[in-house]
Amino acid sequence: MILVTGGAGFIGSNLINELLNKNLPTVLCDFKNKINKKYFENVQGILHFVEPVNLEEFIYKNNIKVIFHLGAISSTTFQDANKLWYNNIFTSKKIWELCYKKKIRLIYASSAATYGNGDKGFIDTQDRTYLHSLNPLNIYAWTKNEVDKRNIFYKNFLNLHPPQWVSLKFFNVYGPNENHKENMMSIVLKTFQQIKKNETTTLFKSYNSKFKDGEQKRDFVYVKDCIKVLMWFLQKKEISGIFNVGTGIARTFNDLVINVYKNMNKNINLQYIDMPKEIKNQYQYTTKADMKNLLKCGYKDTFYTLEEGIKDYVDNYLIKKNYEIS
């Protein structure tokens, strides 16, 4: 039995769809009022729906082989530090402990946001000195780095760890099933919605002299590639560690917006706006995954280019399925 926390979310729902496609017994853990049945290709195929408050009891009473821990408060502007601590750090600690006690394999979501402004590089290493040197730019990113640091401490100093443990530092993910993310949805979906409503697309101005407006860069990774990586680790139970999940290529926000307009056969209508004060000091101007670690372990699948990913997302999901416009 495979359990997915955050199974109603963006990456979680896509993963559950793939697990069910492979006829694997799958349990969804999330808040029932957050479950959007439209996200699932076969919602009847899900074995159990578990509320987070009942998660620990469920794990103790059932034969769970693998936990994909994807549940977290992922908003980079969320201000309630107590809730962030409980949901992102304390709950992750409990799941790690349950997994080493019950010999359950654990694959969990970290974040590229842990790298801060990137001045220390984007290196997916287990080195505690490096992890302690990182300076995340918001509380969410700090919680994700704290989880990695604590887990490495458990492993290195106490020898307490699951039979397999994998921390995946996801970069800027976009793709189907992100409608619920509101202000945290990808710029691809925001641009699509702005075009459908005949509104001007907006991007933040740059306040860094090294970057022109719209030339800020991200490693944009299509969610289908993230699912491939998750499923690969499911098959590779002998591999543990911290791994980046990106394309290894940084592209500009201008590139992204232009490609959405191109795939919708629309003339570009783009304006640069002031960045909100609350994120000015938290803003990453470039991200680029170092992918050598994953490739060295034997991962061979190619990643969607930005052009390929946007085309698939727009043509086969946003237009084809007539996504709701918020």
Residues designated catalytic: 140, 181
Q: How many residues does the chain have?
A: 326
Q: How many CA atoms lie within 13 A of 40 on its CB side?
A: 19
Beta-carbon neighbour count of residue 196 at 10 Å?
15
Instruction: List b or e across 277-295, with b for residues whose CB sees 16 or more CB atoms inside 10 angstroms.
Output: eeeeebbbebbbbbbebbe
Distance CA 94, CA 90 (A): 6
Distance CA 216, CA 304 (A): 20
Distance CA 264, CA 189 (A): 12
Residue 168, classed as helix, strand or coil, is: strand
Beta strands in the chain (DSSP E): 2-5, 26-29, 48-50, 66-69, 105-111, 165-170, 172-174, 201-204, 217-218, 220-222, 241-245, 251-252, 270-273
